[in-house]
Amino acid sequence: MINRKPGMRRSLSTSSRDEIIRWFKEKQTLRVCLQQGESRVAPWFHGIITREEAEDLLKSGSAGSFLVRVSERIFGYVLSYRT
């Protein structure tokens, strides 16, 4: 286990990409994809894309540009940003 903040832990084990995609589609899509009070996806949320795809998307942005995507390794999310 990796210690994060006091009381928070995350397992070192990774899950298969197929398991993560299934988790996202079954449990998370409606919770995280839609902007509150609207029927469209938040512009910063890019769903299931790779790290490389995220980096390519951010190349054309200015410093501070960001996006959120589904992690490829754990049941969770990744914040990618341009420095």
> Which tens digit of pLDDT belongs to each residue from 14-73?
679 899 999 998 988 877 766 677 777 888 999 999 999 999 999 999 999 999 999 999
**Closest CA relative to residue 68, chosen from 52, 82, 81, 56:** 81
How long is the chain? 83
Domain range for 19 is 15-81
Tens digit of pLDDT for each residue in 67-78?
Answer: 999 999 999 999
Domain count, the chain: 1
H-run or E-run covering 24: none
- Distance from chain centroid for Cα 10: 16
What residues contact residue 7 under an 8 Å CB cut-off, 6+ apart? Answer: none
Whole-model pTM: value is: 0.72
- Side chain identity, residue 75: F
Please indicate, yes or no, if residue 31 is contained in any of the structural domains. Answer: yes
27: CATH: 3.30.505.10
